[in-house]
Amino acid sequence: MDLRHLDTEPSREEREAVDAVIGEGETLATVPLREARRLRAHLLPALHALQDRVGRITEGGLGYVCRRLHVPPAEAWGVVTFYALFNVDEERPTTVAHVCDDVACRLAGAERICGELAGTLGPEGKAVKGRGWMRSPCLGLCDQAPAALLVVPGAPPTEVLWGGVDAPSVAEAVRSGTAPERGGVQPLQPREALHLLRRVGQVDPTDIDAWRRSGGGAGLRRALELGPAEVIALVGRSGLVGRGGAAFPTARKWEAVARQPARPHHLVCNADESEPGTFKDRVLMEQDPYTVVEGVAIAAFAVGSELARIYVRDEYPLARQRLQHAIDTLRQRGWLGDDVLGRGVKLDVELVRGAGAYICGEETALLNSMEGLRGEPRQKPPFPSDSGLFGQPTAINNVETLANVPLILTEGPEAWAARGVPGSAGTRLFCLAGHVRRPGVVEVGMGTTLREVIALGGGTPSGRPVRAVLLGGAAGGFVTADQLDVPLTFEDTRRIGATMGSGVVLVLDDSADIADLLRRITAFFRDESCGQCVPCRVGTVRMEEWVARRSSGGSADPALLDDLGAVLRDASICGLGQTAASAVQSAVRLGLLGGGR
């Protein structure tokens, strides 16, 4: 490709930051297309380097990255402006607190905090001497709501996700450039009840020896003994299905990749966790990172991939740090590398950073993002098992899905499955938050009722009755107080028109302003739509307008909502659009907006 480039120069620190991740080097005049595609995968890391160092992607920095990586400047601009955490805007603060104003944090007073910050730090998104604050969609810290993410550029940059914030503490963090580290977590349940969460609060997540003493690594060792085909067979017998929302049988996905003649195969762990109200994967990655990496390694071994990748949302700095530490120490000890445990197997794991886009959790958008493209979903077919990352056969799995795999191999598939019920095997993590006394991640056998799960949170803080639960996240729907005895299985939730989705259980007492939540949810989908297809790009805007009219007592045509729901569900390219109307439609159906249907 012969490209016309920007002729602007980077500053010395911008050049250093970029060179540190892609190496120093000369810019070649042209490169073959294949090479260009390989270079392109470095685009996001290079942009992160700029953003980390100076808090902005300047024209000089962008021009340099484009020349080094042979990316057309217009395309790079398309990528930069796709991701919410890349800043191209002179007015936007570089030292910034991203303040969550999403569903759980709203219930904990986020709007009040934003109002106060506008007074103390100035208007949202406007820098005052480079500093300021911005609103953010769900930061995945709903158990410690309200939450904020502090980002300060530098070498190295400061990134802290912390909870229990109020306006003065956010303002202080922005002024000082520091925020308190979070303490450890204690599970809500007794040790005997925990399997996937058994190490949380018990085993130091940064100590490989402690992890080994607690039985860590036995799953990978067993996998290497069994061989890929037997691992897939065992996982198949367990009945494990994906925990990322779509509930697809994991072994079937692996088998579809393993049998492909094309090489290499890829395994990608989806740690983009951005569904509002979801934080279970964060807890696993922060509190038991070794087991997550172990599960990823086993999956890679099973599908025939030598290099697995974990795509972690950028809003999870601690999770990234802990995973990287786990990967590094596992490699030092020979659990990863060119000759794993001396068995002649090559297996490694690498982290990839997201940049602020919920849609990148959709598996094909995630692949595009890893290739250095805009995070736009691909039309399926082809499915990733046929043509995934760089066009190669690829399996994509959720963090919780993979964290279960070591357990399945060590306990045996039957024992693992028996904690659930037929058709919904094993245990499942739920993200309990909202109006509960003790929010947090809980682990229960599938088939446990929603009422029992909520009870683990110790009731509503106000003592007021539960009115509804947002089950499954913004892409899920509402469940009313009279439906709380629904057993949490795929079938039973489907029967009442609900979904477990990503395991969100956001409890709402009878004081909750459901119209306000719906306004936030519809704004979320409008913000997070990739914009590729008409039903979702425009439909999410019309949904937001519909809810705004309806909640302010204006006229909102029910037939229009039906039609919007239909086109979103039926004609959108991906799951974002397909589920974007479900929360609103369920609220209307259940009469939660008042005024009946």
Partner 1 sequence: MIELEIDGQKVTVPEGTTLMEAAATLGISTPTLCWAPNLDPATACRVCVVEVEGSRVLVPACGRKAEAGMVVRTNSDRVRTSRKMVLELLGSSVDLSAAEQVKPWMASLGADPSRMGPAAPPSAAGERDAARAGHHHATDGATAATVCQPIKVDNELYVRDYGKCILCYKCVDACGEQAQASFAIAVAGRGFDARISTELDKPLTDSACVYCGNCIGVCPTGALQPVTEHELRQEGAWEPERQTQTDTICPYCGVGCTLTLHVQDDRIVKVTSPHDASVTGGHLCIKGRFGTRFVAPRGS
Phi, psi of 157 (to 5 degrees): -75, 165
Q: Which one of ligand SF4, partner 1, ligand FMN, none interacts with residue 526, CB within 5 to 8 A by kind?
A: partner 1
- Which residues are at the interface with ligand FMN (CB under 6 A)? 242-246, 248, 270, 272-275, 358-359, 361-363, 396-398, 401, 574-576
Q: Pairing relation of β-strands 394-398 and 266-271?
A: parallel
Phi, psi at 402, each rounded to 5°: -75, -30
Please say which residue, 394 or 540, places its beta carbon nearer to ligand SF4.
540
Task: Report the site for partner 1 in 543-582 (rule: CB under 8 A).
Answer: 544-550, 552, 554, 556-557, 560, 563-564, 566-567, 569-573, 578
Q: Which x/- pattern over 371-410 shows residues binding ligand SF4 (rule: CB under 6 A)? A: ------x---------------------------------
Closest listed residue to residue 180, CA positions, set 165, 202, 201, 199: 165
Locate 505 and state its tokens.
């259980």
Which residues are registered as beta bridge partners of 95?
Answer: 131
Q: Residue 280's closest CA among 219, 361, 196?
A: 196
- Footprint of partner 1 on 447-486 (CB under 8 A): none
Q: What angle do CA 158, 160, 163 make, to 5 degrees?
A: 160
Residue 35 touching partner 1 (CB under 8 A)? no
All residues at 6 or more sequence positions from 252 whose CB lies less than 8 Å from its CB, including other chains: 236
SS (H, E, C) 449-478: EHHHHHHCCCCCCCCCCEEEEEECCCCCEE
Name which of 340 and 396 has its Cβ closer to ligand SF4.
Answer: 396
> Which residues in 512-531 contact ligand SF4 (CB under 6 A)?
529-531
Q: Does 92 bind partner 1 (CB under 8 A)?
A: yes
Burial of 430 (0-12, 13-18, 19+ CB in 10 A): buried
For the bound state, the minimum distance from the C-beta of residue 579 to partner 1, rounded and expressed in Å, comes to: 11
How far separated are the first and last CA of the chain, in Å rounded?
A: 57
User: Per CB under 6 A, does 585 bind ligand SF4?
Assistant: no
Instruction: Tell me the three state secondary structure of residue 156.
Output: coil
Q: Contacting partner 1 (CB under 8 A), which of 84, 104, 310, 453? A: 84
Pick out residues in 509-528 that bind partner 1 (CB under 8 A). Answer: 519, 523, 526-528
Nearer to ligand FMN, 77 or 490 (CB): 490
> Is 249 or 497 the residue whose CB approaches ligand FMN more closely?
249
Give 22 or 538: the residue with its C-beta nearer to partner 1. 538
Distance, CA of 71 to CA of 5 (rounded, Å): 9
Of residues 209 and 563, the one with the C-beta less far from partner 1: 563
To the nearest whole angstrom, how small is the minimum distance from the Cβ of residue 499 to ligand FMN? 12
Residue 532 found at the interface with partner 1 (CB under 8 A): yes
For residue 40, give every residue at least 6 positions away whose Cβ sits within 8 Å of its Cβ, in sequence order, or none.
69, 70, 71, 371, 372, 373
Whole-number Å distance between alpha carbons of 401 and 106:
29
**82 counts as binding partner 1 under rule CB under 8 A:** yes
Tell me the DSSP string of 291-315. HHHHHHHHHHHHHT-SEEEEEE-TT
Q: Which residues pair with 241 in a beta bridge?
A: 249
Nearest-angstrom CA–CA distance, 53 and 152:
9
565 binds ligand SF4 per the rule CB under 6 A: no
**Is residue 73 near partner 1 by the rule CB under 8 A?**
yes
The entry of ligand SF4, partner 1, ligand FMN, none that residue 74 binds, CB within 5 to 8 Å by partner kind: partner 1
Nearest CA-CA partner of 179 in 97, 102, 113, 87:
97
Shortest distance in whole angstroms from residue 359 CB to partner 1: 8
Residue 69 backbone phi and psi in degrees, to 5: -105, 0
Binding of ligand SF4 by 536 (CB under 6 A): yes
Phi, psi torsion values for 361, nearest 5 degrees: -75, -20
Minimum distance between the CB of residue 358 and ligand SF4, rounded to whole angstroms? 9
Residue whose CB is less far from ligand SF4, 30 or 379: 379
Which tokens belong to 132? 């300021």
Residue list 129-168, contact with partner 1 (CB under 8 A): 134-135, 137
Q: How far is the CB of 11 from ligand FMN (least distance, A)?
A: 35
| For ligand SF4, the closer CB: 384 or 440 | 384
Contacts of residue 292, Cβ cutoff 8 Å, sequence gap at least 6: 269, 284, 285, 310, 323, 326, 399, 402, 403
Chain positions contacting ligand SF4, by CB under 6 A: 359, 377, 529-533, 536-537, 572-574, 576-577
Chain positions contacting partner 1, by CB under 8 A: 1-4, 6, 59, 62, 72-78, 81-84, 86, 88-89, 92, 125, 134-135, 137, 356-357, 374, 379, 519, 523, 526-535, 537-542, 544-550, 552, 554, 556-557, 560, 563-564, 566-567, 569-573, 578
